């Protein structure tokens, strides 16, 4: 049975409407969306996404920073350092200015002129030995020839030594090089400390070393005709100058010095017992630390001195030291920081109290030649010494100077243990310790060869170190 025409028309008329609805994608019953509202929704979704991304990025950066901080802290934290308790000694020093007392004999110029030394500074001479020439004016040409001859000898000796000639010459040069290098190091130290007051002393010491080197090299046979000719020429010039000039000879054996201070007769050994603190102060104010040797002298003026005493007396004021701190039966050591040397075997002659300190006089037979060119110098006296278990002060924990108590981190059984100790003595760098009554257990008492932590800030108590 075929459909009726009405039903067919109805179906055909509805289908196009549905197709149109499908093409538009909207139902005719829904309300159309506003484009502005749609854009706002899209912007909110984007803002939310950006906020989430930034939050995750910030959390990631914070995590990375925390890891980096932990790594840096772990690397910068010092590693614990360990050391053995060893037996050592602490020495306390007192500073003062030394005034030297000795027996000197002065040689005066027979006439006016220029001084030409024939011996080196600080050299031991015998009685009757020629010490210097006083060359009158008008002989400058001969003197210049002598200086040039001496320089030519030094240059030729160096050339021959580099060629392998002259047995023992290299050892003499090496010996003088070591002595010169020590003085150069002292000059560098003074330059760093911005002080130049010791330069004249350094210059004189270097001149003495070089003159002593020349004297030793003169005894070396280089087997060279040119050098022999120069030595004969030097001897001839010295003889010709000596005939026309005044010759100074030594009246007694001793140590020669060309640096005069004017106290050769007043500050001798005879005044040791009567020397007072006021005289000592006056002499220090008048005398210079170092005096230059005279180049030109007049008739009758002093030229040099010869120290005949085998010992020298050293007077100095020690602030903060009382006479009872200086026992007479002890041998003392006087340090000279500016020159890096020390005078040992010093015996106390007398000591008297002067206000907050003491005025003391010592005697010694050491370094007499070294200080023959001066009257005073700055020094340090080793006043007291303490021996015992010595450790660095930085290894002490909660150090109390008033009660002389502290603690150390000692390693026992593989663990760090806090051990109380008593401080017997200390200075800026080290401390002498002993066991404390509060230590308790026997294994917690410090002893020689016990292991302690040198930097206790790097580790805590009770941490495991290892078996």
First to last CA, the chain: 110
Give the three-state DSSP class for 413.
Answer: coil
Average pLDDT over residues 207-235: 83
Cα separation, 237 vs 214, in Å, equals: 17
Most confident of 172-176, 180-184, 351-355: 351-355
* Model confidence pLDDT, tens digit, residues 262-274: 898 899 999 999 9
CATH fold of 82-90+386-458 reads 2.40.420
CA distance 313 to 102: 6
CA distance 3 to 262: 157
Q: What is the per-residue pLDDT for 407?
A: 92
Confidence (pLDDT) at 466:
65
Q: Mean pLDDT check: name the lowest of 185-189, 195-199, 303-307, 396-400.
A: 195-199
Q: DSSP labels for 422-460?
A: EEEEE-SSEEEEEE-GGG-SGGGS--TT-EEES-GGGS-
CB 318 within 8 A of CB 355: no
Distance CA 446, CA 388 (A): 12
| Assigned token pair, 59 | 């959390």
Picking from 403, 341, 107, the residue whose alpha carbon sits closest to that of residue 205 is: 341
180 versus 36: the higher-pLDDT residue is: 180
Q: Where are the beta strands (DSSP E) in 163-238?
A: none
Average pLDDT, the chain: 84
pTM to 2 decimals? 0.61
The residue ranking higher by pLDDT, 378 or 206, is 378
φ, ψ at 398 (rounded to 5°): 55, 50
Ranges of each domain in the chain: 82-90+386-458
Predicted confidence (pLDDT) per residue in 82-130, tens digit = 999 999 999 899 999 999 999 999 999 888 888 888 887 788 889 988 8
pLDDT band at 440 (very low <50, low <70, confident <90, very high): low
Structure confidence at residue 10 as a pLDDT band (50, 70, 90): very low
Coarse DSSP helix, strand, coil percentages of the chain, rounded to the nearest 5 percent: 35, 30, 35
- Maximum distance among all alpha carbons in the chain? 173
Do residues 216 and 172 lie in contact, with contact meaning Cβ atoms separated by under 8 Å?
Answer: yes
Phi and psi at residue 320, in whole multiples of 5°? 80, 5
Contact 110, 294 (CB under 8 A): no
Other CB atoms within 10 Å distance of the CB of residue 269: 16
Q: Which residue has 């939050």 as its token pair?
A: 55
How far apart CA 196 and CA 203 sit, in angstroms, is 12
% of the chain exceeding 90 in pLDDT: 32
Looking at residue 183, its pLDDT comes to 84
């Amino acid at each position: 049975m075929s459909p009726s025409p009405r039903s067919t028309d109805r179906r055909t008329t509805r289908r196009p409407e549905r197709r149109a609805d499908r093409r538009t994608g909207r139902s005719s019953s829904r309300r159309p969306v506003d484009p502005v509202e749609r854009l706002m929704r899209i912007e909110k979704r984007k803002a939310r996404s950006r906020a989430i991304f930034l939050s995750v990025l910030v959390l990631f950066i914070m995590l990375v920073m925390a890891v980096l901080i932990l790594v840096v802290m772990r690397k910068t934290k010092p590693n614990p350092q360990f050391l053995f308790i060893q037996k050592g000694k602490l020495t306390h020093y007192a500073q003062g200015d030394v005034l030297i007392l000795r027996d000197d004999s002065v040689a005066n110029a027979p006439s006016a002129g220029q001084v030409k030394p024939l011996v080196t500074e600080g050299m031991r001479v015998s009685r009757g030995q020629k010490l210097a020439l006083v060359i009158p004016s008008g002989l400058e040409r001969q003197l210049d020839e002598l200086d040039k001859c001496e320089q030519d000898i030094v240059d030729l000796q160096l050339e021959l030594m580099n060629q392998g000639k002259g047995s023992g010459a290299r050892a003499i040069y090496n010996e003088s090089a070591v002595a010169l290098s020590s003085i150069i190091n002292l000059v560098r130290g003074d330059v760093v400390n911005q002080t130049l007051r010791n330069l004249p002393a350094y210059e004189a010491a270097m001149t003495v070393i070089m003159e002593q080197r020349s004297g030793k090299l003169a005894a070396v046979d280089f087997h060279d005709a040119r050098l022999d000719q120069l030595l004969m020429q030097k001897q001839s010039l010295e003889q010709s100058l000596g005939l026309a000039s005044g010759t100074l000879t030594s009246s007694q054996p001793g140590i020669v010095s060309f640096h005069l201070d004017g106290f050769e007769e007043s500050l001798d050994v005879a005044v040791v017992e009567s020397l007072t603190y006021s005289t000592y102060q006056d002499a220090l104010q008048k005398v210079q630390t170092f005096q230059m040797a005279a180049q030109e002298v007049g008739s009758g003026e002093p030229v040099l001195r010869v120290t005949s005493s085998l010992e020298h007396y050293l007077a100095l004021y020690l602030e903060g030291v009382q006479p009872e701190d200086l026992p007479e039966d002890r041998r003392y050591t006087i340090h000279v920081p500016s020159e890096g040397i020390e005078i040992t075997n010093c015996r106390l002659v007398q000591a008297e109290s002067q206000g907050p300190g003491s005025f003391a006089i010592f005697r010694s037979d050491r370094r007499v030649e070294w200080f023959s060119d001066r009257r005073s110098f700055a020094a340090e006296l080793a006043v007291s010494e303490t021996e015992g278990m010595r450790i660095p002060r930085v290894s002490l924990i909660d150090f109390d100077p008033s009660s002389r108590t502290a603690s150390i981190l000692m390693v026992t059984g593989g663990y760090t243990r806090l051990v109380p100790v008593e401080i017997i003595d200390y200075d800026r760098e080290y401390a002498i310790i002993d066991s404390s009554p509060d230590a308790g257990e026997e294994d917690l008492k410090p002893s020689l060869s016990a292991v302690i932590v040198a930097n206790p800030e790097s580790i805590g108590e009770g941490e495991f170190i290892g078996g």
